[in-house]
Amino acid sequence: MTFRAKLIISMLIVFIIAFDISVVIFVSRGQSMVLEARESAAADEFSSIYRSIDKFIRETYTESGKRDMDFCKGIINMYKTLYNEGSTKIDIEEGIYTGNNIYMTKALSMPYDDIVISYEKDISDYYNMQREWKRLFVIVNFIFAGVLFVLVYGITSYLTRPLYAITKALSEFRKGNYGSRISINTRDEFQPIADEFNNMAETIGASIEQINKNAEEKEMLVRNMAHELRNPLAGIQGFSEYLLSCDVNDEDRHKALCYIDSEAKRLSALSNKILNMGITENTDIDFEEVNTRDIGEEIKKYKEVGLEYKIDKIVCDRILITDLLINLVDNAVNADADKITIIFDKTEEYYRISVADNGCGMDQKELLSIFKPFYRVNKDRSREKGGAGLGLSYCESIAKVHGGYMEVHSQKGRGTEFMIFLQLFNK
């Protein structure tokens, strides 16, 4: 049974019982008052009739001095005839009364005290009225129930409307429409449910979006990884097969061997990089206080760069940060830069190392993807240099394990600036 049906039935029962009880009390009280009034009027009437009969008989007895039964009965019969037409009946009592009317008796005074006068007042009209009331009561009850049902039906439909809205939104959500929201404005107990649902839907929707995005990125990563691993593998396998099974001349043999060599090296470099990424993501790093000039000198050994020191000390993992900077310098060199500047600095919350070059730069579209694993801005050239597109994602994971992040600004044809932000230690 629906909540609404329960509501309708319980409301109808309560209202009808309350109505009936009050009507019954009201009517029965009214009836008993009517009956009392009728009874007192009848008593008055009987007493006046009795007094006139009694007086008449007593006066006659005083004049004659003897008891005359026939005369007495004649008087009573006269009264009997007199009242015969109306609702009142006067008679000499003749046994036990069994009717429904008002009935009173009284004995006459001496010496006729053996005669009892009876008085009967017909109140059948009262009983008729009572029957009429009952009939009316049943009719009114039905009409009232009908009207009440219509009213209650309307009220409950208004009150339960939020429930239907909530159900609809929930089922939409279950079907996968994560944008489904409950739009009610009732300001009652349903409002917090709707608000809570909407908040929950917001959170779940965002999570699901994130999950989908992650899955997509993961799939992309797997595709790229497959491509990067299988290409050199196919080369090595194919060329060795070629050498094994074909009668090749010296030139072709040399070519095949060179390819096997370079592909094997590529595979080994790639596996190192992938392992490196795993290490940075899962290892506790060695924080130590490092002199920025030491890092600078180390990079200078690798490649001539401009260096600027606005801070002397930096707390970081020296090997990882040096690796990161060398990676960025490598990128700059690959971007045809002839001037590379590294600046060690700090902001209020972070150490900031910036690596700026005057190389070929990147456009906005390229910038969006450069931190993604296996992404290469220039596919052909970078591969010739042995790149797999993992450098920047490696750099970013280094910055992340240092509690920081990386930013990049670039202009096509003008150059690129990478900024590495590392968590600041106030030692």
Contacting positions for other proteins (CB under 8 A): 223, 226-227, 229-239, 241-242, 244-248, 252, 255-256, 259, 262-263, 379-380, 383
> Half-sphere exposure of residue 385, counting CA atoms within 13 Å on the CB side?
13
Complex with other proteins: residue 189 or 247, whichever CB lies closer: 247
Report which of 234, 226, 337, 323 is spatially closest to residue 279, judged by C-alpha positions: 323
Cβ closer to other proteins: 334 or 378?
A: 378
Nearest distance, CB of residue 386 and other proteins, angstroms? 13
| Beta bridge partners of residue 300, listed in sequence order | none
CA dihedral 344, 350, 355, 356 (to 10 degrees): -100
Q: Least distance to other proteins from the beta carbon of 241, Å?
A: 5
Q: Rounded CA gap, 109 and 115, in Å? A: 9
Cβ of residue 227: shortest distance to other proteins, in angstroms? 4
Instruction: Encode 101-125: b = buried (16+ Cβ within 10 Å), e = exposed.
Output: bbbbebebeeebeebebbbbbebee
Which residue stretches of 65-189 are H helix? 69-82, 124-174
Q: What is the closest distance, in whole angstroms, from the C-beta atom of residue 235 to other proteins in the complex?
A: 4
Q: How far apart are CA 367 and CA 375, in angstroms?
A: 11
The nearer residue to other proteins, 106 or 383, going by C-beta atoms, is: 383
For the bound state, the minimum distance from the C-beta of residue 395 to other proteins, rounded and expressed in Å, comes to: 24
Token pair 């001349």 is found at: 249
Please state the closest distance from residue 255 (CB atom) to other proteins, in A.
7
Residue type, 379: K
Give the full edge-to-edge strand order of the sheet including 405-411.
306-309, 340-346, 350-357, 415-423, 405-411
Q: In terms of CB distance, is 189 or 384 closer to other proteins?
A: 384
Q: How far is the CB of 419 from other proteins (least distance, A)?
A: 30
Contact partners, residue 161, CB within 8 Å, separation at least 6: 184
What is the closest distance, in whole angstroms, from the C-beta atom of residue 397 to other proteins in the complex? 24
Quick one: 205 or 238, whose CB is closer to other proteins?
A: 238
Phi, psi for 212 (deg, rounded to 5): -60, -40
CB 320 within 8 A of CB 285: yes
Euclidean distance between CA atoms 162 and 225, whole angstroms: 52
Cβ closest to other proteins, residue 13 vs residue 234: 234
**306 close to 339: Cβ distance less than 8 angstroms:** yes
Nearer to other proteins, 200 or 248 (CB): 248
Which is nearer to other proteins, 138 or 244 (by Cβ)? Answer: 244
* DSSP conformation letters of 106-136: EEPPTTSTT-EEEEEE--HHHHHHHHHHHHH
Minimum Å distance from CB 372 to other proteins?
15
Residue placing its CB nearer to other proteins in the complex, 220 or 311: 220
